Amino acid sequence: MRSRRRAFATFFFLRPRLALLALIAPPLLWLGVVYLGSLFSLLVQSLFHLDGFTGRVVRRVSLATYGDLFTRANMDIVVRTATMAAAVTVATALLAFPPAYYMARYAPPKIKAALALGILLPLWSSYLVRVYSWKLILAREGVVSWFVERARLTWLLDALLGLPGIGGPSLSVSAIGTFLAFVYVWLPYMILPVAAALERVPPSLLEASSDLGARPAQTFRRVTLPLAFPGLVAGSIFTFSLTLGDYITPQYVANSQFIGNVVYESQGVANNIPFAAAFSVVPIGIMAI
């Protein structure tokens, strides 16, 4: 028994490439067949179209469905979603940097662990619950309105909600509310990669910059920020693509439709799978750009 196990181990020790292949074959198969396969099937579906009379899917390759995409209303949805995703990405990046910097540079190990846990903890609760609680927080009778009233700032809130484009009857049904909920739910995905990137910056680099005459702001711009850039990019990809594809937040905390809603309704309510597929290709296209 023992010798057979040894022979097994020796077999792979002498053939490192085979060992590597054995290790990566299962995930490679998963990625190749299940993930890329379904993506391909999505693309194929988007090339079919729905017969308006029978409500059946016509399995013939054409660009008819993509033609439906380029209506005024649909393009508005695309622009709105992309703008929201960009705004959320910028806001989370700005908000994430200070805590990430503190975690990476100053926090002693115990506090660092507590902070990481604190950042991850909300992810353990259902996403739906968190978004729904934002609806309640931001509602006209919610805690934000109550606080604003107490602070005698209702005029400010009303002015904010009166703004065209981002306003609405209350925070929970305005673009401002959607933005706040998105920033909240995606913030961890920005903090963690930025903190990881900052942690890899040796403190001596910051000392060297200071030693060579750079004030803290100069050190930040010329050394810290460029070295944290990979983390910011990783975090931005998360927040941007998650906002782009989400349909739950816009369903509860919004007054207008986003790409995700349209996809959800096309395939769930209208049963127009080709249109849902075509609209799903839009975020992929945006991300590719």
Based on CB atoms, which residue is closest to other proteins, 208 or 287? 208
Based on CB atoms, which residue is closest to other proteins, 76 or 207? 207
Instruction: Tell which positions 198-217 bind other proteins, by CB under 8 A.
Output: 202, 204-205, 207-215
The least CB distance from residue 205 to other proteins, in Å, is: 5
Applying CB under 8 A, the span of 56-64, 149-157, 220-228, 241-249 interacting with other proteins comes to 220-228
Residues in contact with other proteins, shown as a per-residue x/- string from 222 to 251 under the rule CB under 8 A? xx--xx------------------------
The least CB distance from residue 74 to other proteins, in Å, is: 42
- How far apart CA 98 and CA 206 sit, in angstroms, is 16
The answer to whether the CB of 285 falls within 8 A of the CB of 39 is no
- How far apart CA 284 and CA 289 sit, in angstroms, is 9
- Number of residues binding to other proteins, judged by CB under 8 A: 17
User: Residue 234: how many CB atoms within 10 A of its CB?
Assistant: 16
Based on CB atoms, which residue is closest to other proteins, 132 or 220? 220
The least CB distance from residue 220 to other proteins, in Å, is: 13
Using CB under 8 A, list all residues that contact other proteins. Answer: 202, 204-205, 207-215, 218, 222-223, 226-227
